[in-house]
Amino acid sequence: MSASPAPDLILINGRITTLEASHPEAKELVIKDGRIVGVDNARDFTTGPETKVIDLQGRRVIPGLNDSHLHVIRGGLNYNMELRWDGVPSLADGLRMLKAQAARTPPGQWVRIVGGWSEFQFAERRMPTLEEVNAAAPDTPVFILHLYCRALLNKAALRACGYTRDTPNPPGGEIQRDADGNPTGLLIARPNATILYSTLAKGPKLPPEHQINSTRHFLRELNRLGLTSIIDAGGGFQNYPEDYAVIDELHKRGELTLRVAYNLFTQKPKEEKADFARWIKMTGPGVGDDYYRCNGAGEMLVFSAADFEDFLEPRPDLAPTLETELKEVVSLLAANHWPFRLHATYDESISRFLNVFEEVNREIPFGDIHWFFDHCETISDRNLERVKALGGGVAIQHRMAYQGEYFLDRYGKAAAERTPPVRRMLEMGLPVGAGTDATRVASYNPWVSLYWLTTGRTVGGTALYPEKNCLTREEALRLYTQGSSWFSTEVGKKGALRAGQLADLVVLTDDYFSVPDEAIKGIESVLTVVGGKVVHARDEFSPHAPGPLPVLPEWSPISVFGGYGAPLDVKKAARAGVPLPLEHPARTGRAQTRSISSTADSGSNPFGSFWGSGCDCFAF
């Protein structure tokens, strides 16, 4: 028996995937002071009065998922204001949700639907029309963002933004107009997404107390889906340190339920070097702790290098000033030993970026700096070799799961078969980490990303990749755990369930390794543990769940509709006067048809059957 202090938590009777080569499958884990101290040797430890023992009842357990590219800080500030269409099976359902939320949104506030969905996920296989949006919400401003390419505003939102026939088109963007020159409500990125994000920024913000509540709910939502760590990639309209105050406060309070390593994203065109010079004096890579720490620079380093993908538009030609401006910033970062990341979609852009990196490396060697590209949908083998020679990596995201159909239409099937070439990256031994790039393009649900990696299919069911370019389920899981740890310079600290590593783990609703392909998208967590503490629990583990958290403001969409595939709160819906079904086909791994014969408050159901399309092209 061990003479050391009693463990805090012992998990028994599990099917535990450790991702540790010498001990790949286990039944028990022993946890003390936030770290794993034993695997399959619980009998060697003496329990104490404070030791918690949880019987996993044969459930599958995996290391906590780690999203290498997610915009959680910005997303948390807005989560409670957003109506999510992530995973909704039909446009009809989405419009009914929109109508219901518009009716309960107070004057002066907007309804926001901000990314995470694709027209191809809908049974109707199309976008909503402006007429449909205006009919659903005639008086409440509505902003609907679709990928990087467009946004729909109803008439009330056009008035709120002050867009009239006299409003000029911004550079790289278009305000669509009717025959009389009046804005129709469609904003188009041609190809710059600034018009979309600057318009969204015109909407009301939550007060600080509500932003704290919103961020906590978003973190809990990610815990529900099995995430225990993320790397925040910064973002437009996310200024440091102002917009980091909420996440910093939660860290000080000990209320973070997700580990956050953050990158700093420049905000001012032509002043990028000044941004980073100022931040280098304020913080630095590794400043913080295992829950909240600085990770370096990017994903935007200079605005002239922004090759944002919009596959409805031709590939953009980047500015001739790119090389000079990028070299100034990268030289500054390399001289100060700052890791950096850079958004990179097209091989043509990547070639120019690498020319700069190689030139800087000759003058100021990168050494062991962890630098990497994000995305790399069309990167060539030659440029992968150049990345490896410079000691870099590639963080991949499932953006193609949401816009693969657009890519196919523009570039053809052969070009789409390796977008990105993940199999080749692994064969070359490059560091590769997986993620989502949520929330404004793809969904934050990691299981949709794992489905995409292993099946090669979009959320609309379109096959993009031949089998040879798809990953096994274990390979994909490794990218979401051990792989992502390289990108925050935490290799060996997280990503596997072995003695000495952080005690971050997830107990699953279904066995990831044996469920049918389509059911992968429906997997969730029944027990999420971060640093040895339970941050999410449901079903048989409900007694271990953290206490309830109120939703602020009360009219928030999540108080009724929840997040991705979440159960609809019938009681809250009834109090809000929103008729809703009594069942929700979540967590089944397939869409289901529901016939609703009653509602929460009345004998009629003017909103029809949510999630009732019978579409089998996606699952919650």
More confident: 129 or 591: 129
pLDDT in tens, 343-379: 999 999 999 999 999 999 999 999 999 999 999 999 9
389 and 320 assigned to the same domain: yes
DSSP state of 499: T
What does the pLDDT look like over 180-189, one tens digit per residue?
A: 999 999 999 9
Tell me, yes or no, whether 283 and 342 share the same domain: yes
For residue 67, pLDDT over 60 is answered with yes
CA dist 194 and 149 (Å) reads: 10
Whether 335 and 319 map to the same domain: the answer is yes
Kindly indicate the confidence band of residue 577, based on its pLDDT and cuts at 50, 70 and 90. Answer: low
Question: Same domain for 405 and 451?
Answer: yes
User: Given the DSSP bridges, would you call strands 371-375 and 340-344 parallel, antiparallel or unpaired?
Assistant: parallel
Q: Would residue 592 count as lying in a domain?
A: no
Write down the pLDDT at residue 567.
Answer: 60
Q: Is residue 56 part of a domain?
A: no
pLDDT tens, residue by residue, 167-224 = 999 988 999 999 999 999 999 998 788 899 999 999 999 999 999 999 999 999 999 9
**What local confidence, expressed as pLDDT, does residue 568 receive?**
59
Single pTM value for the model? 0.92
* Pair 343, 226 in one domain: yes
Of 110-114, 145-149, 463-467, 486-490, the range with the lowest mean pLDDT is 145-149
Q: Above 60 in pLDDT, residue 387?
A: yes
pLDDT of 599: 27
Please indicate, yes or no, whether residues 167 and 218 belong to a single structural domain of this protein: no
Which ranges in 428-483 belong to alpha helices (H)? 446-455, 473-478
pLDDT score, position 280: 98
pLDDT interval class at 566 (50, 70, 90): low
Burial of 75 (0-12, 13-18, 19+ CB in 10 A): buried
CATH number of the domain enclosing 473 = 3.20.20.140
pLDDT of residue 595: 26
Q: What is the pLDDT of residue 192?
A: 81
Query: Which secondary structure element, helix H or strand E, spans residue 190, and what is its range?
Result: none
Structural domains counted in the chain: 2
Q: Do 247 and 193 belong together in one domain?
A: no
The answer to whether residue 102 scores a pLDDT higher than 90 is yes
8 A C-beta contact, residue 462 and residue 419: no
User: Is there a contact between 471 and 453 (Cβ–Cβ < 8 Å)?
Assistant: yes
| Token pair in block for residue 251 | 């860290």
Task: State whether 213 and 327 are in the same domain.
Answer: yes
Q: What is the rounded average pLDDT of the residues 259-277?
A: 96
Which of 121, 134, 136, 130 is closest to 90 using CA atoms? 121
User: In this model, does residue 620 exceed pLDDT 60?
Assistant: no
Residue 149 scores a pLDDT above 80: yes
pLDDT at 604 over 60: no
pLDDT tens digits, one per residue of 315-348: 989 999 999 999 999 999 999 999 999 999 999 9
The residue out of 495, 530, 560 marking a domain boundary is 495
The predicted-structure confidence for 515-558, as pLDDT tens digits, reads as follows 999 999 999 999 999 999 999 999 999 999 999 999 999 999 99
Q: Which of 441, 467, 495 is the last residue of a domain?
A: 495
Q: What CA–CA distance (Å, rounded) separates 233 from 327?
A: 21
CA diameter of the chain = 84
Least trusted range by pLDDT, from 15-19, 186-190, 336-340, 385-389? 186-190
| Structural domain harbouring 95 | 70-204
Domain boundary among 168, 183, 204: 204
